[in-house]
Structure 1
C-alpha cells in the first residue's frame, strides 16, 4: 500500500513537471513568434 502511494505520487509529480515544461516551452515559443512578427 505504501509503495503504491509513493509510486502514484512520483507519477503525479512527473506529469506536473512535464506539463510545466511544456507550458513554459509553448509560452516562450509564442513570445518569440510574437516578437518576430512585431519586428517583421
Structure 2
C-alpha cells in the first residue's frame, strides 16, 4: 500500500514537473522569437 501511494505521488510529481518545464520551455522559446507571439 505504501509503495502504491509512493508510486502515485511520484507519477503526479513527474507529470507536474514535465508540464511546468514544457510551459517554461515554450515561454522562453516565444521570448527568443517575438514575432511568433500572439498579439
TM-score interval w.r.t. the shorter chain? 0.7 to 0.9
- For structure 1, the residue ranges without an aligned partner over 5 or more in a row are none
**More contact order relative to length (CA 8 Å, sep ≥ 6):** 2
How does the TM-score come out when normalised to structure 2?
0.78
Superposition CA RMSD, Å: 1.2
- Flag as ranges the 4+ runs of structure 1 deviating above 6 A: none
> How many positions carry a matched residue from both structures?
33
* Larger helix fraction of residues: 1
How does the TM-score come out when normalised to structure 1?
0.76
- For structure 2, the residue ranges without an aligned partner over 5 or more in a row are none
Answer with 1 or 2: which has the greater Rg: 1
